[in-house]
Amino acid sequence: MKKDHEKIWDRCLEVIKDNVSQQSFKTWFEPIQPVKFTDNILTIQVPSQFFYEWLEEHYIGLLKKIIRKEIGADGRLEYSIVMENSVKNANPYTVRVPTSNVREVKNPAVSLPIDVANSPIKNPFIIPGLRKIKIESHLNANYSFENFIEGDCNRLARSAGFAVAQKPGGTAFNPLLIYGGVGLGKTHLIHAIGLEIKRNHPGKTVLYVPAEKFTQQFIEAVKNNTIGDFQQFYQMMDVLIVDDVQFLSGKEKTQDVFFHIFNHLHQNGRQLVISSDKAPVEMTGMEQRLLSRFKWGLSADLQAPGLETRIAILEKKMYAEGIELPKEVVEYLAYSITTNIRELEGAMISLIAQSSLNKKAVTLELAKQMIDKFVKSTAREVSIDYIQKVVCDYFDLPIDLLKSKTRKREVVQARQIAMYFAKKMTKSSLANIGAHCGGKDHATVLHACRTVNNLQETDKQFRGYLEDLEKKLSIH
């Protein structure tokens, strides 16, 4: 059965609900806890000094009217304010507000640790001195789930991210740690999670911050003696998204404050989303207690995209930019740049820019020249996959057939030619070439190369095949 103070506050909330927006109600009134009701004084507990000041500045008129209506003209409202600092929680202190216009500030037991009237929490994202705090999420609207291409390389991370976005803080994926190499879409995915949360839960406070920015803000807070404000600001978030958390490596004090923020948010059912270039087990320079917390939820990796995913990414980018490229050019880009999506998209943009500046049509020849400059030595050799594709297109064979165990003469010949060019044009080992051609061993590849060398000396038509294919495969 509800106690008197709970019943009174419930009645107050009913009236407040009708007088403020749903978002404001969720942000500023749902977190308030009624504590007691004695001598016509209703005591409510608010989470922080900043919270108290915000209510005072924006809602005190409304609160006075409601208290007068529910308790009577002699009614009083008293705030119990939980003060937090970077070490431990101090005792709550109280501020009593009468329903008359004269404000009464009392606390017989504890003196106020800070100046109530003049100490709003400093938002580390805005210019110092601005009193009102508007919390921007700092999310990039272009990095949405709609623009994120799903493939085998990222399916787990994307699915977990989407689940978190539907029910932030309410899944087992808290924290959600997304990790993977450079240019594989970590930043895109964590922004997409934030944007989806804002769309599904407009009342939630979502904040994206790169770990480097977080560190800079902490250094500023130390210099200005505002560490308590810094920590309280981050503890107000419903969803905190930290990018490139590996930047905290070796920074003990920053890790310490992040540890306290992490604990507070996690214990209060708030969602944490973190990205890193390494899995927790491979991170160095991180405190063990922080690493153990990273493992509480789900760690999902982003791998290098497969060929189909790379082609889909390029097609999506072309559609978004409203441009068209020949199919053979798109395939060449997708076959040539295999490990970095950012580099892949950059190569396409560079190609289009070069084409329009030099007033040349986008051709396979132009793509080959540009790729050679763009990716320098890493892309100077063609990939085995691309060699197989060109050979199969030339002989009009499906690539699956080339990799199969069939002994049909035309397939065996195409397979041997693919092996020959793979040995000639790449640095791959014979075993690796064989593995790409349907699990053949190195002896089979060696035999294939000898056969092709013999045939080109004795068979004019066969020599023509090789010359045509060499032109197609040439990167110059």
Which tokens is 168 given?
Answer: 């932030």
Q: Which residues contact 3 (CB under 8 A, 6 or more apart)?
A: 37
Strands (E), 116-261: 176-180, 206-210, 239-243
* pLDDT tops 60 at residue 210: yes
Strands (E), 51-205: 76-81, 93-98, 176-180
CA distance 113 to 231: 17
pLDDT tens for 242-255 read: 999 999 998 999 99
The pLDDT of 327-350, averaged and rounded, is: 82
pLDDT band at 73 (very low <50, low <70, confident <90, very high): confident
Residue 24 vs residues 17, 27, 66, 205, 454: alpha-carbon distances, Å:
9, 5, 17, 11, 81
Residue from 413, 423, 348 nearest 387 by CA:
423
pLDDT tens for 274-319 read: 999 988 888 888 888 888 888 888 889 888 888 888 888 888 888 8
Contact 142, 211 (CB under 8 A): no
The pLDDT of 197-224, averaged and rounded, is: 92
Which strand (E) or helix (H) includes residue 302?
strand 298-302
pLDDT band at 375 (very low <50, low <70, confident <90, very high): low
CA distance 472 to 10: 76
Which tokens is 390 given?
Answer: 């060109």
Which tokens is 398 given?
Answer: 């499906």
Q: Which of 6-10, 196-200, 215-219 has the lowest mean pLDDT?
A: 6-10
Q: What's the pTM?
A: 0.55
CATH topology for the 307-379 domain: Helicase, Ruva Protein; domain 3 (1.10.8)
Task: State the pLDDT at residue 110.
Answer: 31
The pLDDT of 329-334, averaged and rounded, is: 85
CA distance 464 to 30: 78
Q: Is 119 exposed, middle or buried (CB count within 10 Å of its CB: 0-12, 13-18, 19+)? A: middle
Strands (E), 109-205: 176-180
Domain 155-302: give its CATH superfamily.
P-loop containing nucleotide triphosphate hydrolases (3.40.50.300)
Q: With DSSP H G I counted as helix, E B as strand and the rest as coil, what are the percentages for the chain, rounded to 5?
A: 55, 10, 35
Q: Which CATH architecture has domain 384-473?
A: Orthogonal Bundle (1.10)
Residue 366 vs residues 14, 328, 353, 391, 472: alpha-carbon distances, Å:
68, 12, 12, 21, 13
* pLDDT tops 50 at residue 90: no
Higher pLDDT, 357 or 305: 305
Q: Where are the domains of the chain?
A: 4-98, 155-302, 307-379, 384-473
Q: Are strands 93-98 and 176-180 parallel, antiparallel or unpaired?
A: unpaired
pLDDT tens for 426-475 read: 878 888 888 888 888 888 988 999 899 888 888 888 888 888 888 887 75
Domain 4-98: give its CATH superfamily.
DnaA, N-terminal domain (3.30.300.180)
Q: Which of 58-62, 125-129, 140-144 has the lowest mean pLDDT?
A: 125-129
CA distance 63 to 55: 9
* pLDDT tops 70 at residue 118: no
Contact 189, 302 (CB under 8 A): yes
